[in-house]
Amino acid sequence: MKIKNLAIIVVVLIVLSIAAYSIAKSNKISLTDDISIEDVKDCETVYWNEEEPVYGTCTYSHTFEVCDDEPLNESCTIKEEIYDYRCQKGTETVQKSREVCKDKEILLTVDKLTGTENYKLEYAGWGKCSYETEGETAVITCDSRYDGNNDGICKPGESCIQFRVTKDGIQRLVKNSRNDFVEEDNTFFLEKLEMEAAK
């Protein structure tokens, strides 16, 4: 009895481990000659079952009368023609899967004359971040999910944080009801994201 219960538990654990697993994915790109960025996402494979049709060959029989002595029709015979055609014979359960990824963090590497510095911006619970370059400056803009549309593009009325990164340093700017980014905005009430030094 104990062996049977143990076997059932092992099978359930195997099925659960196959059902979904999570893995961090990232892609590293160079934004400028001195700054590279790695956008890290938590990815999970989700499985589900769907019923799909099973096709095969079906047969259609057509019976008709043929007469050789029209119009008298006294020597008629019955003929049958059989046709094969493609048809649905039933259904089968097919396992499907897709990868679902969620934003996690941005890893930033800045090459300086004195060496390489690494930074980390954990933004998953705050909103969506996007990045671009302006000359030799890497610009990371984060759009709040609380009072923004969480698309990584900052519009007036949305709480946003912007990090302007050069090889000389990092500047954090904010905005909410303004049209421009500033170091302090008295209409910005959300917790401010931090770009932290990383190993």
pLDDT, tens digit (0-9, with 9 covering 90-100), for 53-94: 999 999 999 998 888 888 877 888 889 999 999 999 999 999
71 preceded by cis ω (within 30°)? yes
**By mean pLDDT, which of 60-64, 113-117, 141-145 is the weakest?**
113-117
| Nearest Cα residue to 117 out of 173, 195, 39 | 195
Most trustworthy range by pLDDT among 19-23, 67-71, 151-155, 166-170: 166-170
pLDDT band at 146 (very low <50, low <70, confident <90, very high): confident
Q: Which residue has the higher pLDDT, 1 or 163?
A: 163
The mean pLDDT value for 130-159 works out to 86
pLDDT band at 199 (very low <50, low <70, confident <90, very high): confident
Mean pLDDT over each residue of the chain, to the nearest integer: 83
- For residue 65 the two structure tokens come to 């009368």
Cβ–Cβ < 8 Å for 150, 127 = yes
The size of the chain, in residues, is 199
